[in-house]
Structure 1
């Protein structure tokens, strides 16, 4: 009997709301967060038609070879257990019902209808006939796993011990110590900051490493797995902000996968709205990134079904959770340092990328983290990915570049505009630039001089705060556009006041218009920074961007040819082994 999917209970260490785990039919049903159990009063019930505890029939059957399915439950009290199925655009229906007395010994409930099911989310209801408690459970199969899997979980760390050490502890206690997985999963921490002490490892293999970013760190971990007999690899963020069950389910999918090129991509949810899906896989196409299933509410039954609906092929999976069979890797990471490495890794290997409800984690919104350095990295990656994967001319990319530049300039983020221009200039230096700047130290030093500021920190609000306009009429909007959001106006028309705006990719241009200063504030944290109207700097960056775009257009065809010729070598195993042989 193999545990395919274990029941997950809400707790206090992750931001997910309770209704991503259970739906209770009565307010008297209580999930005890510190104990990991559910108390169910008589004639009340709890259901598992949820993100973490629903069983995705269509996904499991299409990805894996599983012939049978059963349910095991532990707890106390006499209950009725009903097994049901939710299918998109169909009414829910019950498949079976049994009466039993729960105890510490698992009660096994067969699901004979499983072979006939093709799609939907399987769930169960526990209805109490007397005061009852649900303490655990799992879906199991008697189908033997066809694949012999030894999985290495690779985490890359750089000076975030307050995140990585709790993550190591959680993985060690909840996964490595699981007797059902004994000897089958290992945790590899690639320590780019070389500051994790041996006594802090807690069962993990810690590899001190030179700081070559996520691309270098994850690749170092992958090489370690290849050299030590692992069959599969799972890249994860250093905070492991996910339920540990996500690792176990990924492992089981790999054990039962029909095809060797199956890769498992974890969904990403928003920390600011933990129930909201940011993406379940994504697509990069011609310079643009498209998040799949973005915005779904994972508390909602119908939207959970939509999340599992097959609507489009996944182009890439983020390295916050990305698992794959090692011998399917033909191209290693391009030496991006960070940003873009996961995109090209997915696109240039023949992975069949899959997602599944229950496998995913949380992250801070990307726009909160955006600053000159991340804009540099992001635009550099977007440009090179465009060169390598798109058949379009330079015109489309340069239109995007111009929108990026103008959005930054209109937001008074001149350092970010300079960073984007620097990114394009550095791509024009050709493949050798990346080899010479693997650790980014020279680039960082240059950016510290050319792109200072725009860093979140403690802020003091001045006395001259203005509210800014609430509603904009068409004429007002036209004036803004004709005057370049105020930069074509005389200085005397700019109000010497400050407005407050949410930190994002760009500012609220309507609110900023004709104000001297804006304070960008990150939601929740309260940190921020002040940006100021500077006409001289605006035109300096505008002219630099224009000149950079003109030169890039001239070089584009030669750059494409040069990079495509160099790409196989720069993403080869030999390239990275040579890097780490020094």
Structure 2
């Protein structure tokens, strides 16, 4: 059943007439019906069969009152079958189901002439866990003091989860001390000595999670669980991930899904893959990205009954066995972007698979509300994509051609700051792998300075309050866009307002100035065309891509040779030691 904070999303947990009584009990009125053919309610039997060698699953629950309980399944074609149907009165009920080629299981309950209460429903598999152990939770935070405090409170309040938690590490890289959050004192009191707060300079997600992994290696925990700070957690998710990892035949990374914090039933992706030729990540099944999982349930969407292999899971919530970290190392010093994907590819090269577990999820702000191609993050998108291409078999001509096309798009769209930052990424890559360590603590600042110098810093304030402009600029043809790159037109005052969704080449390419709304709607980019600057930058980009193409084999050898050392504990200890005065000993509580 949903927690009190998620009562507005009951369809993710159950559908029907159930009246929740706490998290593991509900009542049905006379004649009422409920199904758990839902995102959090259905059991992904195919993953337990394929990765844990489970052959039988048991549904256990208790009832009070007369009624009927059915177990339904889907096969590999998505067809629904009823495999158990029993009348109940009052007392415990155990129903065993042979998994066979079934993909999903769920149960449905119907009340008789009186109210029935169903309590403590559980799915369980035969056999003892193969690698049971405690968890070390690793949270990385940056100026999200209230969000982080709420997250810690949610963790501490879940007794079942806390029974398996040995330590909670909070790596605070922000300018505000996380301990100043309004809810932190109460969360700290609940977690007690199991909470450790570590203050260090901002080294991005890579630095925060690597610090958490290092601290986890000092404990007796079996698994590290990486958790983002600006999320709303379903704590049961971590318990499910831990149970799956404990029963898996082989050492397995287990990840969770990401739901949209603004549209809570919208799933970001069913799983992630990497096209190694292109060095580009994307959804493992595009038609399931995004997906409204309140409506698209296993019983309603046959494609959910297909077995899908993933290459990695985002580090918004991901369980990593500590034995794997000891074998393959920590994150590469990427700062942000691609660190989770590269780690998943590296683990796969060492024989460890990743499973994204349906029914394990949290809520996070979607990527669509961020300007990854226009703000400082673009540096890390480009630089780290190229490093992954060098390490994991990217085809140079294809990767470089795509990046060059993106540069051209930015030039057409008057986004000269983005191109300057992308050129810095190429230049850094050409200097060799040592730059990853040398620049991790300073490059974000450098990138922000470049964007400011090129006039591509965000102007705060919603466009409606900043300036009334002209919206709905018509799309132009490729020819009209090309002509506008060659022949100027009189400037428009004030510059027309362009919505973030319309900020593409076919719109911006026809303008010589624009106020481009940010994805979040809280500001805008002031863009102005300079044909001379565009030509100079295009020629410089061309030279850089030609240099990369020529030097690709040598760079691949250099980065591949240094990668194990760059991801090592020794390198990260050196980074933490040189990052600044707050990079030293952990501060407890």
Cα 1:528–1:308, aligned 2, differ >3 Å: closer, same or farther? Answer: farther
The 1-side partners of 2:493 and 2:85 are apart by: 71
Unaligned segments of structure 1, at least 5 residues: 1-7
1:191 aligns with 2:172: yes
The 2-side partners of 1:89 and 1:69 are apart by: 20
Contact 2:46 2:307 in 1 (8 A): no
The range that moved more, 379-388 or 60-69, is 60-69
Of the three residues 58, 61, 68, the one matched with 1:73 is 61
| 2:110 counterpart residue number | 127
Contact 2:517 2:523 in 1 (8 A): yes
The 2-side partners of 1:122 and 1:230 are apart by: 31
Cα 1:501–1:120, aligned 2, differ >3 Å: closer, same or farther? Answer: farther
The CA deviation at 1:33 is 9.8
CA deviation string 1:450-504 (max 9, x = no partner): 45534263134434414322xx6xxx52423532xx2222223x65564444425
1:337 aligns with 2:329: no
| 2:41 counterpart residue number | 53
1:380 aligns with 2:361: no
Cα 1:30–1:144, aligned 2, differ >3 Å: closer, same or farther? Answer: closer
| 2:273 counterpart residue number | 283
The CA deviation at 1:243 is 1.2
| 2:306 counterpart residue number | 309
CA deviation string 1:513-561 (max 9, x = no partner): 53344343456x5323043331244334333323332333343333222
The range that moved more, 249-258 or 563-572, is 563-572
CA deviation string 1:317-369 (max 9, x = no partner): 21112212211231321111111211211111232111221012233332421
TM-score (norm 2): 0.84
Cα 1:353–1:526, aligned 2, differ >3 Å: closer, same or farther? Answer: same
Cα 1:188–1:118, aligned 2, differ >3 Å: closer, same or farther? Answer: farther
Of the three residues 525, 528, 531, the one matched with 1:533 is 528
| 2:12 counterpart residue number | 20
The range that moved more, 141-150 or 262-271, is 141-150
The 1-side partners of 2:518 and 2:25 are apart by: 36
Of the three residues 396, 406, 409, the one matched with 2:408 is 406
CA deviation string 1:248-286 (max 9, x = no partner): 0011112211112x1112222334543333223322223
Contact 1:372 1:451 in 2 (8 A): no
Of the three residues 145, 151, 162, the one matched with 1:167 is 151
| 2:585 counterpart residue number | none
1:155 aligns with 2:155: no
Q: Which has the higher contact order (CA 8 A, sep 6+)?
A: 2
Contact 1:215 1:336 in 2 (8 A): yes
Secondary structure of the structure 1 residue equivalent to 2:376: helix
Secondary structure of the structure 2 residue equivalent to 1:317: coil
Query: What are the equivalent positions in structure 2 for 1:559-574 lying under 5 Å apart?
Result: 559-574=555-570
1:115 aligns with 2:108: no
The 1-side partners of 2:514 and 2:7 are apart by: 34
| 1:443 counterpart residue number | 446
TM-score (norm 1): 0.85
The 2-side partners of 1:301 and 1:464 are apart by: 43
| 2:470 counterpart residue number | 465
Contact 1:337 1:440 in 2 (8 A): no
The range that moved more, 428-437 or 30-39, is 30-39
Secondary structure of the structure 2 residue equivalent to 1:353: strand
Query: What are the equivalent positions in structure 2 for 1:182-261 lying under 5 Å apart?
Result: 182-193=163-174, 195-197=177-179, 199=185, 201=188, 202-203=190-191, 204-260=195-251
Cα 1:221–1:57, aligned 2, differ >3 Å: closer, same or farther? Answer: same
The 2-side partners of 1:328 and 1:35 are apart by: 34
The CA deviation at 1:574 is 2.4
Contact 2:79 2:302 in 1 (8 A): no
The range that moved more, 41-50 or 445-454, is 445-454
The 1-side partners of 2:220 and 2:344 are apart by: 23
Cα 1:276–1:531, aligned 2, differ >3 Å: closer, same or farther? Answer: same
Secondary structure of the structure 2 residue equivalent to 1:19: helix
The 1-side partners of 2:526 and 2:19 are apart by: 46
The CA deviation at 1:241 is 2.7
The CA deviation at 1:49 is 0.9
The 2-side partners of 1:283 and 1:90 are apart by: 23
The CA deviation at 1:34 is 8.7
The CA deviation at 1:101 is 4.1
Cα 1:324–1:532, aligned 2, differ >3 Å: closer, same or farther? Answer: closer
The 2-side partners of 1:132 and 1:220 are apart by: 50
The 2-side partners of 1:534 and 1:247 are apart by: 50
Unaligned segments of structure 2, at least 5 residues: 579-589
Cα 1:281–1:450, aligned 2, differ >3 Å: closer, same or farther? Answer: farther
| 1:5 counterpart residue number | none
The 2-side partners of 1:418 and 1:367 are apart by: 23
Cα 1:251–1:411, aligned 2, differ >3 Å: closer, same or farther? Answer: same
Secondary structure of the structure 1 residue equivalent to 2:87: strand
CA deviation string 1:175-215 (max 9, x = no partner): xx32x752544322122237233845341322223332211
Cα 1:101–1:417, aligned 2, differ >3 Å: closer, same or farther? Answer: farther
